[in-house]
C-alpha cells in the first residue's frame, strides 16, 4: 500500500508569489572536480553523529544553511546542517564525499540521482533502521505523516498498532539528513513539526521540492 501523497503541508500551501530562484552562495562549491571549500569552519564530529573519522563542508544554495558531511572512510555516516550539531574529526577529502556532493548537486538542482552514496547508520537500532527505510521510500516532492509511517511498520510487523511518537523520535535521530529524507515527514494534517536541522531548512527543502517536481 502506498502511503505517500504528492501534497503540500498547510503552512506551505499558503505561500504565493513567483518561483524562488535557488542561487549558489559566494565561494567554492564542489562540482565533481574536487577541491577545497572556501570559508571552512573548524571543529570536531561526535562519534555516531558524523562518524568517527573525517568531515567535509558542502556549500548549499541560498537560503539553506551549509551542510557538513561525515565519513568513516568507507561510507557516508552523517549529513547535517551547520550549526545544529558539534563537528569533530579531521577535515579530509574522501571519495565518498565526492559521491555525496554529486548527489547533493543533483538534489538542489531538482534532479536527485536514483543512486545514493554508500551509507552507514552508526548506532542504529532495528526500529530506527525500519523508520529510515520508510523515510527513504517517500518520493521527491511527497510527504508522509508520522502516523502513516507508524501504521506501515505495524502492518509489516503484523501488529495492531505502532506509536507515532516513537517514529518521531527515530526520525529525529536520523544522522544523514536529506539523503534519508526525514524532512518529508510531517505532523498530522501536514503540520511542520520539529526538525533537528531547523524548521527554516525543513520549510525550504519542502518548498524546493514543490517547485522542482
Pair (185, 138) in one structural domain: yes
In a domain, 119, yes or no: no
Asked if residue 213 lies in contact with residue 6, where contact means CB atoms within 8 angstroms, the answer is yes
- Number of domains observed in the structure of the chain: 2
Under a CB-based contact definition with an 8 Å cutoff, are residues 57 and 69 in contact? yes
pLDDT digits (tens, 9 = 90+) for 11-42: 444 333 344 555 555 433 443 333 333 333 33
In this structure, the answer to whether residues 82 and 128 fall within a common structural domain is no
Q: What's phi and psi for 111, nearest 5 deg?
A: -130, 65
| Torsion, CA 213, CA 20, CA 195, CA 95, rounded to 10 | 70
Out of 77, 108, 139, pick the residue that ends a domain: 108
Q: The domain spanning residue 136 has which CATH number? A: 1.10.10.10
For the chain, what's the residue count? Answer: 213
What range defines the domain where residue 162 resides? 10-16+124-212
pLDDT tens for 104-130 read 999 999 998 999 999 999 999 999 999
Compute the average pLDDT of residues 92-109. 96
- Residue 84, in any domain of the structure: yes
Which residues carry out catalysis?
A: 182
Cβ(6)–Cβ(198) under 8 Å?
no
3-class DSSP assignment, residue 120:
coil
Do 103 and 177 belong to one domain?
Answer: no
Q: Which residues pair with 23 in a beta bridge?
A: 62
* 115 within some domain: no
Amino acid at each position: 500500500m502506498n502511503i505517500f501523497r504528492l501534497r503540500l503541508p498547510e503552512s506551505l500551501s499558503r505561500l504565493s508569489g513567483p518561483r524562488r530562484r535557488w542561487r549558489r552562495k559566494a565561494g567554492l562549491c564542489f562540482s565533481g572536480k574536487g577541491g577545497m571549500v572556501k570559508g571552512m569552519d573548524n571543529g570536531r564530529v561526535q562519534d555516531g553523529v558524523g562518524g568517527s573519522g573525517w568531515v567535509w563542508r558542502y556549500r548549499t544554495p541560498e537560503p539553506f544553511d551549509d551542510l557538513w558531511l561525515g565519513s568513516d572512510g568507507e561510507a557516508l555516516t552523517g549529513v547535517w546542517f551547520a550549526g545544529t550539531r558539534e563537528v569533530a574529526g579531521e577535515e579530509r577529502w574522501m571519495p565518498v564525499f565526492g559521491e555525496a556532493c554529486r548527489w547533493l548537486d543533483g538534489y538542489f538542482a531538482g534532479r536527485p540521482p536514483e543512486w545514493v552514496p554508500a551509507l552507514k547508520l552508526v548506532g542504529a537500532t532495528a526500529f530506527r533502521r525500519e523508520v529510515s527505510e520508510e523515510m527513504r521510500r517517500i518520493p521527491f516532492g511527497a510527504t508522509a505523516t508520522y502516523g502513516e509511517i507508524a501504521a506501515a511498520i505495524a502492518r509489516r510487523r503484523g501488529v495492531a498498532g505502532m506509536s507515532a511518537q516513537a517514529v518521531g523520535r527515530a526520525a529525529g535521530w536520523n544522522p544523514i539528513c536529506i539523503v534519508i529524507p526525514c524532512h518529508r515527514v510531517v505532523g498530522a494534517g501536514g503540520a511542520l513539526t520539529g526538525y533537528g536541522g531547523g524548521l527554516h531548512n525543513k520549510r525550504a527543502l519542502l518548498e524546493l521540492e514543490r517547485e522542482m517536481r
